[in-house]
Structure 1
Amino acid sequence: MTLTEHAAAVGPTQTGWGNLWPHFTRLSAPRTPVITRGEGAYIWDDQGRRVLDGLSGLFVVQAGHGRTELASVMAAQAAELAYFPVWGYATPPVIALAERLAAEAPGDLNRVFFTTGGGEAVESAWKLAKQYFKLTGRPLKHKVISRAVAYHGTPQGALAITGLPAMKQQFEPLTPGGFRVPNTNFYRASEHADDLVAFGQWAANRIEEAILFEGPETVAAVVLEPVQNSGGCLTPPPGYFARVREICDKYDVLLVSDEVICAFGRHGTTFACSKFGYQPDIVTCAKGMSSGYAPIGAMITTDRVVEPFLQDKTVFPHGYTFGGHPVAAAVALANLDIFESEGLNSRVLANEAAFGATMRKLLDLPIVGDIRGDGYFWAVELVKDAATRETLDADERERLIRGFLPRALFDNGLYCRPDDRGDAVVQVAPPLISGQEEFDEIERILRETLTEAAKLL
């Protein structure tokens, strides 16, 4: 009996999940589709339905599903050496991957600390920042500034950096030291709403204001995504990151570029900070590094930040059992080979304008207020009235975002992400192998489904 046959035979319990406890999911929800296989930009469920993967799994499957060459690399590495820790040891794939990431990272981001995912990478970055300042004689610097509505992970430290109060309430008190500033949602701007550049400078200056309010001697890091995921693909205004870099330098604060989603081609470059023209002190990354074929993440830091740790008897007392797993590292290297041989970064840069133009066709729908994004990472903001920009109320979000849209989109042939952690949006981020045919299919299904959704309002 195959795993698919077994799942079908066991069937759901009354709550629909059997013994499984899904992540970020109501256990009372009815049974949802069981995904059994994938090929290219498509997935299939246990009913045999073919669905366009419009979210790359979870912003992960950059090179597409069903890459047998990646599976072969994993099998070969597992047969040779399936596991050994990087706690005082190393393996050839881990050494090679660290060298490759350092070579592709901008500036002197040369030291790579491996994790198994993005939340762990963010957690590692905060711990590193705290110890760095202790080692350099500024022990009070421990606070972190991030943006409102931003998501940075679920571990207690990363959750404290996350700017989503509803995600924290059940787990408080959290790690102390996380503080918030405004994000770059220009569609909802109340300041400089008619001038994008001025709005960007205003938003960046709120970071300086927060540092001064908390005391520069207490602030260790500013953590920002190149394009903010939660809230719906919030892009940086021109000049925003240049001003943030200036502020961080002025007050000796580390700039952390959280690229868990944005790295590895999502915006057409290996690291999105390169595209948006700023040099961070630390980069956190994961997801697309292996295209999801094995769990792996990393924190990459500059020579300046790692320097105090090179002193005799100094250690960073932090790590993960499966960080730098040799199978995951081997498949990540093979995945980056595909990026080069198939020109995936160049493909995104060549197609991003067409993708954006295709998505903006949806602006003629009365339920669509804004279309925003960059690269292969776009969001549709849903509103009651496009003219007034009136947002959906709590009941309407419940009916649409959690009730109607997820199943309706899937039934119509598209897997993507309805989300209301900020304003109500639908996000799309297809595999990087996608092209105009997939863009048109995404637009068609969104149009059909959102037209029906508007009737429910």
Structure 2
Amino acid sequence: MTGSSVSVPGGAPGGAPGEAPGAVPGGANVTPRGTARDDAARRHLWGHFTRQSAWDAGVPTLVRGEGHHVWDAAGRRYIDGLSGLFVVQAGHGRRVLAEAAARQAGELAYFPLWSFAHPPAIDLAERLADLAPGDLNRVFFTTGGSEAVETAFKLAKQYWKLQGRPGKYKVISRNIAYHGTTHGALSVTGVPGFKAPFEPLVPGAFKVPNTDIYRASEDLRDDPKAFGRWAADQIEVLIETEGPDSVAAVFLEPVQNAGGCFPPPPGYFERVREICDRHDVLLVSDEVICAFGRIGSIFACDDFGYVPDMITCAKGMASGYSPIGACLVSDRVYEPFAHGSTTFAHGYTFGGHPVSAAVAMANLDLFEEEDLTGRVKENAPAFRSTLERLHDLPIVGDVRGAGYFYAIELVRDKVTRETFSGDDAERLLRGFLTPALFEAGLYCRADDRGDPVVQLAPPLTVGQPEFDEIEQILRGVLSEAWTRL
């Protein structure tokens, strides 16, 4: 899971460094205190990435979704500005997806992929391979994004052992990047606050600078191509420092999520691909968030013109109607596993679950029937320009992203780019923005895993009316936030 917490009352964590903010404002958008369900939630349910004390005033409970809206237990409606958790690409309430799940459950509800196969997994693997770039023709199914990254990490290490190069075990990723919660994926992750409670982690994970040009040095800030070259070259510097014979893979998101939607500068991925090829290092495109139309294409590496050796994906594959993820693998990486007794001793009980695979197939049918990727490509400039209206607010420093995936960075001073930190960030994000945005009817994310941002990733079905509504809610809440500083 590459996205970890969201700006909703009680549904996001607080307290430890790197956590995304959350607070319960009270009122109609929580399950009323004292009801049997609220009491049960507070006694028994452990929220993910959640400050559990935030539920003392009541548990925010969502009960229904339709299109790009969700409703809470009190009947209040909210725009789903984050697609649940970067997941619900096709929108809520799509009966065709629920019906696909029911049909498959009635025919074959479960069977593992351990030594066996079933039609939904075969059909989905073939379809994903056809959609993927280059020779990424093998599909290893998981149940989510962290498992997909864990799979790629383990596969890279075994691949090099099979090549007679067991010393190639190190992996490189970017600062502040989030790649998942399992021990291997957490080691690849570059968010210190998420890692500290669980150290020591898997050894051999190293970090390079990310592509946050807004915070780049002044000599690079005004030259995106030069900045992209510099950022890519830091990967080569680290490979050469550690020794090419020790580095197995580089893990990069097409648009980095944590820190606030950092898109790649021009030429960045072309240069990274050259570096990986030169030093015989595998390139893993972590598209757990960015795949399935979030940036525009089914696979976001196509949006930026590079072909990786592996793609990790999950969230949007079934639009959240059933859990599924995958690691797509090139013919080159698969080849040593195709012969004799060689086995990738790795798997998941529910990986490639028949119901999930059937739902994913139906979801991809919707993508084709409604041209959801074309819709994103057509409307993305309007989404950007609508959000860029917020530049007139003194608290808005930067608006960045791609496709239907954007962040608004908040600053104390637009000229100096002074950020909020410590108590200021706690007061601004957790104390005001998180509850205020939700109260205003917008479910999104206020995040402080880097500099404070508000993130948006609505369902791919929205258009200009929803862009306008989101902008108006943000304008009102951010304007009030500025008066409270």
Length-normalised TM-score, structure 2: 0.92
Q: In the alignment, is the contact (CA less than 8 A) between 1:11 and 1:18 conserved in 2?
A: no
1:193-240 Cα deviation digits (max 9, x unpaired): 221100000000000000011110000000000000001000000000
Q: Does 1:20 align with 2:45?
A: yes
- Find the counterpart in structure 2 of residue 161 from structure 1: 188
Equivalents in 1 of 2:305, 2:346: separation in Å? 31
Mapping of 1:305-316 within 5 angstroms?
Answer: 305-316=333-344
Mapping of 1:436-455 within 5 angstroms?
Answer: 436-455=464-483
Cα drift, residue 9 of structure 1: 3.6
State the AA in 1 paired with 2:357: A
Q: Kindly, what percent of the aligned residue pairs are identical? A: 65
Equivalents in 1 of 2:469, 2:259: separation in Å? 24
Equivalents in 2 of 1:21, 1:369: separation in Å? 36
SS state of the match for residue 175, structure 1? coil
From 274, 277, 285, give the equivalent of 2:313.
285
Mapping of 1:238-387 within 5 angstroms?
Answer: 238-387=266-415
SS state of the match for residue 241, structure 1? helix
- Find the counterpart in structure 1 of residue 205 from structure 2: 178
- Find the counterpart in structure 1 of residue 36 from structure 2: 10
Equivalents in 2 of 1:38, 1:127: separation in Å? 37
In structure 1, list runs of 5 or more residues that go unmatched.
none
Equivalents in 2 of 1:152, 1:397: separation in Å? 24
Equivalents in 2 of 1:54, 1:403: separation in Å? 20
Q: In the alignment, is the contact (CA less than 8 A) between 1:372 and 1:378 conserved in 2?
A: yes
Length-normalised TM-score, structure 1: 0.97
Q: Does 1:79 align with 2:136?
A: no
Equivalents in 1 of 2:285, 2:322: separation in Å? 23
- CA 1:135/1:7 → structure 2, altered by over 3 Å: closer, same or farther? farther
Equivalents in 2 of 1:233, 1:376: separation in Å? 11
CA RMSD of aligned residues (A): 1.5
- Find the counterpart in structure 2 of residue 116 from structure 1: 143
State the AA in 2 paired with 1:12: D
Q: In the alignment, is the contact (CA less than 8 A) between 2:81 and 2:458 conserved in 1?
A: yes
SS state of the match for residue 192, structure 1? helix
SS state of the match for residue 52, structure 1? strand
Mapping of 1:88-237 within 5 angstroms?
Answer: 88-190=115-217, 192-237=220-265
SS state of the match for residue 17, structure 1? helix
Q: In the alignment, is the contact (CA less than 8 A) between 2:31 and 2:74 conserved in 1?
A: no
Q: In the alignment, is the contact (CA less than 8 A) between 2:31 and 2:61 conserved in 1?
A: no
- Find the counterpart in structure 1 of residue 26 from structure 2: none
SS state of the match for residue 458, structure 2? coil
Equivalents in 2 of 1:45, 1:309: separation in Å? 49
- Find the counterpart in structure 2 of residue 51 from structure 1: 78
Cα drift, residue 403 of structure 1: 2.2
Equivalents in 2 of 1:439, 1:291: separation in Å? 20
1:261-290 Cα deviation digits (max 9, x unpaired): 000000110000001000100000000000
In structure 2, list runs of 5 or more residues that go unmatched.
1-29
State the AA in 1 paired with 2:284: V
Cα drift, residue 388 of structure 1: 1.2
Please list every run of at least 4 consecutive aligned residues from structure 1 whose deviation after the TM superposition is greater than 6 angstroms: 4-8
Cα drift, residue 6 of structure 1: 12
Query: Number of paired residues?
Result: 453
State the AA in 1 paired with 2:168: K
State the AA in 2 paired with 1:29: A
Equivalents in 2 of 1:345, 1:379: separation in Å? 20
- Find the counterpart in structure 2 of residue 395 from structure 1: 423
Equivalents in 2 of 1:180, 1:214: separation in Å? 12
